Chain A
Amino acid sequence: DAKTTQPTSMDCAEGRAANLPCNHSTISGNEYVYWYRQIHSQGPQYIIHGLKNNETNEMASLIITEDRKSSTLILPHATLRDTAVYYCIAQARGGGNKLTFGTGTQLKVEL
């Protein structure tokens, strides 16, 4: 699976959009981009995934660049409950859920 690079930490004001970047410059054509998050003391939680097209669900939007070398997870209206570590994971098609978690981005949402 391709290596992903994320900033160590980010801050965001409550109510504002949180934009979390991820670099995956070596991603191959059959690898999806997955985002999970882990709120303190809980298990990881799936957020969203995509291959080439931008994706949106009730939690977030995923913007993938045309060359697929980077992506951005967008939480449109961050709340205090969104404070968590966010993981960007490149996962091969057919790779099931054998996920390679890196160090992620610690997002802190503040008043």
Chain B
Amino acid sequence: EAGVTQFPSHSVIEKGQTVTLRCDPISGHDNLYWYRRVMGKEIKFLLHFVKESKQDESGMPNNRFLAERTGGTYSTLKVQPAELEDSGVYFCASSQGRALAMNTEAFFGQGTRLTVV
């Protein structure tokens, strides 16, 4: 069974440009999460989808970040325009079960390393 896959694995863009990260969760997982680790900091939660709906987006840093999950399958995280402080590793995770009723394990992807220059 395929795990959580993220694309691209690395991205280098210039400040002001737009970047779109993609995450394919494990098939059948309703819950999809985005996290990120910026340089020297801890891994931080960004947002949580249940199917196509945003359940919790309290961790999104600002309105330059837009996450979507059309059709409840894969998700994209767009950064527009990118700033230097957005550099870091962006992780996607998925889990099965009804997130608000169950505590289950989360499966993480390998991450996308974003470098803004």
Give A contacts to B, CB under 8 Å: 32, 38, 41-46, 49, 91, 93-103
Query: Distance (Å) between the CB of B32 and the closest chain A CB?
Result: 10
Having A42-B110, A46-B106, A99-B45, one finds 10 other A-B pairs with CB under 8 Å, namely A43-B93, A43-B109, A44-B93, A46-B105, A94-B102, A97-B93, A97-B104, A97-B105, A100-B45, A102-B42
How far apart are the CA atoms of A72 and B99 in the complex, in Å? 26
A44, A93, A98: which has the most chain B beta carbons within 10 Å?
A98
Please tell me if the beta carbons of A96 and B93 are within 8 angstroms of each other in the complex. no
Take A98-B33, A98-B56 as given contacts and tell me if A46 and B107 are in contact as well, using a CB distance cutoff of 8 Å: yes
Within 8 A of A (CB), among B30-70: 31, 33, 35, 42-45, 48, 55-56
Give B contacts to A, CB under 8 Å: 4, 31, 33, 35, 42-45, 48, 55-56, 91, 93, 95, 99-111
Smallest Cβ-Cβ distance to B99: which chain A residue: A96
Please tell me if the beta carbons of A43 and B4 are within 8 angstroms of each other in the complex. yes
Please tell me if the beta carbons of A96 and B91 are within 8 angstroms of each other in the complex. no
Smallest Cβ-Cβ distance to B113: which chain A residue: A41
Take A96-B48, A97-B31, A100-B45 as given contacts and tell me if A44 and B100 are in contact as well, using a CB distance cutoff of 8 Å: no
Take A49-B105, A103-B42 as given contacts and tell me if A97 and B100 are in contact as well, using a CB distance cutoff of 8 Å: no
Take A43-B93, A44-B91 as given contacts and tell me if A99 and B100 are in contact as well, using a CB distance cutoff of 8 Å: no
Please tell me if the beta carbons of A44 and B108 are within 8 angstroms of each other in the complex. yes
Which of A44, A95, A103 is close to B103, meaning CB atoms less than 8 Å apart? A95
Please tell me if the beta carbons of B110 and A43 are within 8 angstroms of each other in the complex. yes
By a CB distance below 8 angstroms, the chain A residues around B48 are 96-98
Smallest Cβ-Cβ distance to B104: which chain A residue: A97
